[in-house]
Amino acid sequence: MVDISPKSTNCADLLIMSKQKLKECDDFVNGKTTIHCKIKSLTRKQLTGNDIPERDLFHRQLEESFEEMLFSDFTFKVRGRKLAAHKNILAMRSPVFAAMFLHPTKEVQSGEVEIEDIDPDVFQELLRYMYTGSPQSTAMDVMAPGILAAANKYMLDQLKTRCETHLIRQMSAKNCLDLLTLTTHHPAEHLKKFAIDYFRRYPGEVMGTDNWKKMKEENPALLCDLHQMVFTAPTV
């Protein structure tokens, strides 16, 4: 048995062995031998800066850019809360921001824009997604409807789809009406289809919720529109 246990940290050094050297081994019999080797795999925590794959390193650097916001050149004032960002990242990720930065508007020249129709925590998760490609899972559990609305506004289609999938998995009699209402303001066809189907399958449960009673008292016109939408939509 030929033992090639690691004597070097360079993998290339370990794997190079000439055919002649194998033939000279005592265990080389009838043209055959058995090679015993040990392979060690490094975890992500054990990797040094030089060992990390370039794509992972780039992803880590984007995460650090989001967390630290060094050299940021644009500020969002979201309901009074200031959130920094980099214009090149925003323009690369969202066609809405790309179009915004093409024109010398007052906001672009000042480097600050006010946003009043999005919750600050939701907008922060929107920024996190644009930098890292993923919002926090805990944020999705709490803010998925708001994140979907923001993703729709800034044309982040993949984030919008992720929100739809998350909400479909969480659908219940308690939130079905809210999700239907959400789709009337922010087009989300997959979510709308599943909400309609859920309502049709469990009408008694949906109409027995506090949400139904509250909407019946406060906004009967919207409730009538939702009810009509559910029972006139084509069956797929």
CATH number of 185's domain: 1.25.40.420
Residue 113 domain flag:
yes
Please tell me whether residues 146 and 214 are part of one structural domain.
no
pTM for this one? 0.71
pLDDT at residue 29 in the model: 65
**Is the domain of 164 the same as that of 196?**
no
Do 73 and 148 fall within a single domain?
yes
Residues 34 and 110 in one domain: no
Q: Are residues 147 and 57 in the same domain?
A: yes
In a domain, 131, yes or no: yes
- pLDDT score at 62: 80
**In this structure, are 59 and 112 located in the same domain?**
yes
d(CA 127, CA 119): 13
Output the pLDDT for position 8: 45
CA–CA–CA angle 165, 166, 168 (5° rounding): 65
CA-closest candidate to residue 126, choices 105, 99, 156, 168? 156
**Structural domain includes residue 61:** yes
CATH code: domain of residue 57: 3.30.710.10
Backbone torsion region of residue 93, taken as left when φ is above 0, otherwise alpha when ψ lies between -120 and 50, otherwise beta: alpha
Give me the pLDDT at residue 152, please: 96
Total number of residues shown for the chain: 236
State residue 227's pLDDT score: 85
Q: Per-residue pLDDT tens for 95-118? A: 999 999 998 888 889 999 999 999
pLDDT the model gives residue 38: 67
- Tell which of 153, 168, 183 closes a domain: 168
- Give the count of domains, the chain: 3
What's the pLDDT at 11? Answer: 45
Domain boundary among 147, 168, 189: 168
Q: Which of 109, 138, 168 is the last residue of a domain?
A: 168
User: Residue with structure tokens 């109409």?
Assistant: 207
The parent domain of residue 222 ranges over: 171-236
pLDDT digits (tens, 9 = 90+) for 17-57: 566 666 666 666 666 777 666 666 555 555 555 555 676 77
Q: What is the pLDDT of residue 13?
A: 45
Q: Cα(147)–Cα(160) distance, rounded to whole angstroms?
A: 8
Helix (H) or strand (E) holding 113: strand 112-115
Looking at residue 114, its pLDDT comes to: 95
User: Amino acid identity, residue 152?
Assistant: N
Residues 216 and 233 in one domain: yes
Same domain, residue pair 151 and 187: no
In terms of domains, do 57 and 34 share one?
no
Considering the domain boundaries, does residue 46 fall inside one?
no
Instruction: For the chain, list residues with pLDDT below 50.
Output: 2, 4-14
219 in any annotated domain? yes
Is residue 135 located within the same domain as residue 80? yes
100 domain residue, yes or no: yes
Q: Residues 164, 175: one domain? A: no
